[in-house]
Structures are given as C-alpha cells and as structure tokens.
C-alpha cells in the first residue's frame, strides 16, 4: 500500500510518515518544528526521523544528528520524512512496517543522508506494536478519555512490552 501511494503522490521530493497507530497527546512545538521542516527543504537529506528514539549517533548540528549506516531502526517510519525515490528504492513488497524498520535499515546502508532530530516536537503515543496494543498506551489513552475496544486486538504481554525497550536503550 505504501509503495502504491508513493508512486502516485504528487510530490517528487518529500513524503511525511505518520502511521495510523500513533496518537498526538500534547501540544506540538510548532516554531521548532517549522525550523526543522525548513532545514529539511534546504538540505539534501534523504530521510529524517522527528522522533528521537533512538537518538542519532553522531552530531551534525544543534538541530539534527546523523543516523549512521548499520544503526538499528535507521529506517523507522515513526514521524519520518523521506525523499520519495529513496523510500521507493528501499521498500520490499509484502514487508510490514516493523520488518521495514529492521530490513530496510540494512538496505539503507547504501545511502548517506539519514538524520534524526535531537528533540521531540510532536508528543505521540505509539499504541500498536507488532499488531498488539501496547500496555502503557492503553493506560494513557484511557486517562485522556479515549475508549478502546480490546476485543478486536490482543494486548502485549509484560514480556513483549519489555523487549523493545531493552533493544532501544
């Protein structure tokens, strides 16, 4: 589906990645985000992750850092902006977003120009991981008054919740 949408998108330059299992739960740092968007337009970046988790591994500027080749989740789709031709070259038919984060990262090692913001500008809750509700997200959504139908999707076990945290940090 993503590949289909990319091929027919009007923009030949950048595509914004905001997945449907993400919820904004707080204000957006608009002025700072606009500064980042301007940097993206002016730079020759192939990719930028605006969710600094994990953080970039090398300093580039006070605004962004470099996400080096061989870095885990180098192609994370969470809050990302892509050059369309780079994203299309990295997509593999039938691959899930989760798989793309892993295997797309390996394929991306043929390219430079991968960056990540140092700061959060968008405060999000990642509600679904590997097809299951994330336990902390359920709590947060309920505290915001959002009803969740838990009969339609499994909830991550405690062990499943801990493993991604251990991998990232």
pLDDT single digits (tens) 8-26? 455 555 666 666 678 888 8
pLDDT single digits (tens) 90-143? 999 988 887 888 899 999 999 999 999 999 998 888 888 878 899 888 998 899
* 1 C-beta neighbours (distance < 10 Å), count: 5
pLDDT single digits (tens) 150-169? 998 999 998 887 765 444 43
Crossing angle for the helix pair 135-143 and 158-168, to the nearest 10 degrees = 100
Q: Domain boundary residue among 74, 95, 117?
A: 117
pLDDT given at position 167: 45
**Structure-model confidence comparison of residues 19 and 69, the more confident one:** 69
**Domain-located, residue 122:** no
pLDDT given at position 1: 41
Residue 133 and residue 108 in one domain: no
* 77 C-beta neighbours (distance < 10 Å), count: 20
pLDDT given at position 99: 87
β-bridge partners, 64: 117
- C-beta separation of 56 from 64 below 8 A: yes
Nearest to 86 by CA among 75, 101, 99, 102: 75
Residue 101 and residue 137 in one domain: no
* pLDDT at 28 exceeding the cut of 60: yes
- E-only strand ranges, 11-168: 14-17, 22-24, 47-49, 58-59, 64-66, 80-83, 114-117, 124-126, 128-129, 132-133
Question: What is the model's pTM?
Answer: 0.77
Count the domains in the chain: 2
pLDDT given at position 48: 92
pLDDT single digits (tens) 40-57? 889 989 999 988 988 999
Torsion of CA 20, 122, 124, 3, to 10 degrees: 20
Q: Tokens 């984060």 identify what position?
A: 101
Domain extent for 27: 2-117
Q: Domain boundary residue among 117, 135, 155?
A: 117
Residue 152 and residue 75 in one domain: no
**Domain-located, residue 27:** yes
């Amino acid at each position: 589906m993503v590949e289909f949408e990319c091929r027919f998108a009007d923009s030949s330059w950048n595509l914004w990645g905001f997945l449907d299992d993400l919820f904004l739960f707080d204000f957006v740092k608009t002025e700072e985000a606009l500064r980042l968007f301007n940097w993206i337009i002016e730079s020759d970046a192939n990719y930028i992750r605006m969710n600094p988790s994990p953080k970039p591994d090398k300093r580039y500027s006070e605004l962004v850092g470099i996400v080096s080749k061989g870095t885990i989740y180098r192609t994370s789709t969470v809050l990302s902006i892509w050059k369309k031709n780079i994203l299309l070259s990295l997509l593999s038919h039938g691959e899930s977003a989760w798989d793309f984060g892993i295997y797309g990262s390996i394929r991306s090692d043929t390219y430079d120009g991968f960056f990540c913001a140092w700061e959060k500008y968008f405060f999000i809750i990642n509600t679904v991981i590997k097809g299951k509700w994330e336990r902390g997200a359920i709590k947060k959504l309920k505290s915001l008054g959002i009803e969740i139908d838990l009969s339609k999707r499994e909830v991550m076990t405690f062990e499943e919740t801990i493993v991604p945290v251990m991998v990232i940090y």
